[in-house]
Structure 1
Amino acid sequence: MAWHHRVVGKAARAVWRITKPRTIGVRAVLLDRDNRIALVRHTYTDQWYLPGGGVKKGESTAAAIARELAEEVAMENASIERVLGVYHSKRESKDDHIVIFVARAGSPGGDRLQRANLMEIEEAEWFALDKLPASTSPATARRIAEYRAGASGMGDW
């Protein structure tokens, strides 16, 4: 894990404690043709997460998830099926809203994952929905369980 990412993260959290920003994020339950889910492990954390990130000023959530999938797992042809839910998080002293999309990898052969940003993404892998890594983040595991149950979610992250 890159120590400089941890230092930058600690500095950002200190600023957030003072400024308490309102942010909007996006993540994707990205599935391949075999119904495996894409998860990423960032260089600055030990857990596995759904791919995604922040929405930039002037950017729609749909454009943001397309950009994030390209930036994190080099997936440029995913099709958005629906919104799984919208969640609220007050972690890290932010007022964060996260939109979770359900998306499918593109055409056969177009579902190869690769780390697009080597500075940010340590690993990117497909996992069977019933065989998630033990180090999957708790919120990620909850979103996957909601997807598997056919539920739409909202509320706390």
Structure 2
Amino acid sequence: MALLHRLLGRAARIVWRITRPRTIGVRGLLLSPDGRVALVRHTYVDGWYMPGGGVKKGECVTDALHRELAEEVAVRGATVERVLGVYHNRHEGKDDHVIVYVAHAPDDSLHGADTLEVAKVGWFALDALPDGTTPATLRRIAEFRAGTTGGGNW
């Protein structure tokens, strides 16, 4: 099934390069009660990412964040602290704007909720992130640790 997701992901990126759709996405810099960050490895792409995804048509961005946290890491009831930043991402061929929220999980339970989409999840210390953490994820975490508000390119 992971191979099918990878192939579908590649096909989608080809279509996006041709059509260049404008999309909105959300990511959660989700913190555990003891200050660790939740990261996700998907089945269809390499690397560790903050949980998140696309905002559906007619959906509020904060509702999308809570939906994605439930779908990817089975966290419900997270408290949103603030917006870390709004970023422009053109790496997949889309004209994508990504809103990154800082949020707090109600407890430290965490597991991959959608096993077709999520290969692994974990809590990681902010200064001990796993090998394969994506460059954009590293930049967002560095901005958070520095106490800055981000923006610009993903």
TM-score by length of 2: 0.98
- Distance of 1:135 and 1:91 partners within structure 2: 18
- Distance of 2:65 and 2:137 partners within structure 1: 16
Aligned to 1:16: 16
Structure 1 segment 44-59 matched on structure 2, within 5 A: 44-59=44-59
Aligned to 1:60: 60
**Could you tell me which of 122, 138, 144 is aligned with 1:147?**
144
Aligned to 2:73: 73
- 1:5 is displaced (CA, Å) by 1.0
- Distance of 1:155 and 1:137 partners within structure 2: 17
- Distance of 2:76 and 2:150 partners within structure 1: 26
Flag structure 2 segments of 5+ consecutive residues without an equivalent: none
Runs (4 or more) in structure 1 with deviation over 4 Å come to none
**Could you tell me which of 121, 136, 147 is aligned with 2:133?**
136
Aligned to 2:117: 120
* Percent identical: 62
Provide the aligned length of Structure 1 versus Structure 2. 154
Please give the root-mean-square deviation of Cα atoms over the aligned residues, in Å.
0.9
Equivalent pair of 1:75/1:111 in contact (CA under 8 Å): no
- 1:46 is displaced (CA, Å) by 2.2
Flag structure 1 segments of 5+ consecutive residues without an equivalent: none
- Distance of 1:111 and 1:59 partners within structure 2: 27
